Structure 1
């Protein structure tokens, strides 16, 4: 039987913003389809926390570099829960490299995971929503790095492309009652942010921002949950900057 609760698929749910988003949505009454790649134990633990909140979960392993796997992920989530009301495209990678260090392989991998996979997850989700007449919502997790970041030409390109795709896809599906928005976090303390950088360096950079601190995954999760909710029913094709004032406008 279809779930009695709304259902959201969260990609990259095992840690950081994805994990915080899944818990926030569960607290708001969603059942969750949890995507992961390589840390099933973390997703099992997350599922137990969500079950304790009274909501259903399912686990879905998929390598989103494979476009077919990205599309099957959506189909599996729908088949498991019998409905799909929201999607959070959170899965992403950032292996830092300067222009001199950048390789074709790293460029392709970064854009495949951060941009191409999100696009085809959306395509599959929209097909399900249209078929069932669901007025659903999709949120893409971008980054302030879309405006440029050190050692991140490939990452900035992927997130800038994600922002453009968000706006274009929103135009395509608006008349179906489906909303597509993005949230662009600033510096948030996650495993991805710590890769290749010492925590002390991140804290020094964050101290120079308006907020004077690093953000928390739960703060980004709250914005994502808002964009999925009916409270954001008149917001479409927007990318909300959630960066503590590090960049305005």
Structure 2
């Protein structure tokens, strides 16, 4: 992939799943990566594995729900590497006590809305706000946000988590705003909308029958894996994605068709 070697990229939410696959892919392409996560030990382990494989990586513990912490993540990465070329905003609060209680609007606690929006939308906004000046100083750069296919589902019955989907719809709008406002100053901002991705955690909790039912609804032979999403993120962060801006790319095995 062109134009990733030597670039400095922060992946916020990188200790597991899609974020972990992304830092590994970016490092394999020669990027220098800051592995950010609330799980300090997980971030350090991911960074260590990259360094052991010959790459450049540092681990930074941060809290996506805290404005000071997201700002510190960016500052520490820039202080260590001397510049910033890209950001992958990927973190979300998927704990059972939050995501598992994200149900219909009639029965949901306001606290679930507040926590979900704080992490998934406001946290992304503060990350981007902190990163933008450094990207502009570097002459431009790329921002990629992880969103979801349920932020704009097809017409019909929608049983997706309402706060999560709403927060990600906000992320999509924010990406369009950033691309529109700073695109001519060299900033690209896109979102990747994964379908069902079989992370290690998902495999532990999903019954085989449910996995088979999900596969039956695809226009592909399998469900996604984290590296499928990581490959798309790497493309958007690379020079190969130079003419993609302000877009929401569905990476979902054909589960949803975009007009």
For normalisation by structure 2, the TM-score amounts to 0.88
Listed one character per residue, the Cα deviations across residues 175-198 of structure 1 (whole Å, up to 9, x for unaligned) are: 210111111000001266569754
Higher deviation after alignment, 11-20 or 190-199? 190-199
1:64 corresponds in structure 2 to: 64
Higher deviation after alignment, 231-240 or 185-194? 185-194
2:175 corresponds in structure 1 to: 166
Residues 199 and 156 (structure 1 numbering): CA distance in 2 closer, same or farther, change over 3 Å? farther
CA distance in 2, matches of 1:192, 1:121: 26
8 Å contact 2:43–2:60 — kept in the other structure? no
Listed one character per residue, the Cα deviations across residues 91-149 of structure 1 (whole Å, up to 9, x for unaligned) are: 0124133224421111111111111111111111111122x233211100111111255
8 Å contact 1:26–1:53 — kept in the other structure? no
8 Å contact 1:203–1:214 — kept in the other structure? no
CA distance in 1, matches of 2:11, 2:205: 26
1:47 corresponds in structure 2 to: 47
Indicate which of 120, 123, 128 corresponds to 1:122.
Answer: 128
CA distance in 1, matches of 2:80, 2:233: 23
Listed one character per residue, the Cα deviations across residues 15-47 of structure 1 (whole Å, up to 9, x for unaligned) are: 000000000000000111011112x33222211
CA distance in 1, matches of 2:171, 2:9: 20
1:133 corresponds in structure 2 to: 138
Indicate which of 107, 113, 117 corresponds to 1:111.
Answer: 117
Counterpart mapping for 1:141-180 below 5 A:
141-148=146-153, 150-180=159-189
1:23 aligns with 2:24: yes
Residues 192 and 147 (structure 1 numbering): CA distance in 2 closer, same or farther, change over 3 Å? farther
Residues 174 and 195 (structure 1 numbering): CA distance in 2 closer, same or farther, change over 3 Å? farther
Secondary structure of residue in 2 paired with 1:183:
strand
1:11 corresponds in structure 2 to: 12
CA distance in 1, matches of 2:178, 2:109: 29
Indicate which of 169, 190, 215 corresponds to 2:224.
Answer: 215
Indicate which of 218, 236, 244 corresponds to 1:235.
Answer: 244
Listed one character per residue, the Cα deviations across residues 57-82 of structure 1 (whole Å, up to 9, x for unaligned) are: 11111111112211221111111111
Gap runs ≥5 in structure 2: none
Instruction: Please report the RMSD computed on the Cα atoms of aligned residues, expressed in angstroms.
Output: 1.9
1:37 corresponds in structure 2 to: 38
CA distance in 1, matches of 2:125, 2:205: 28
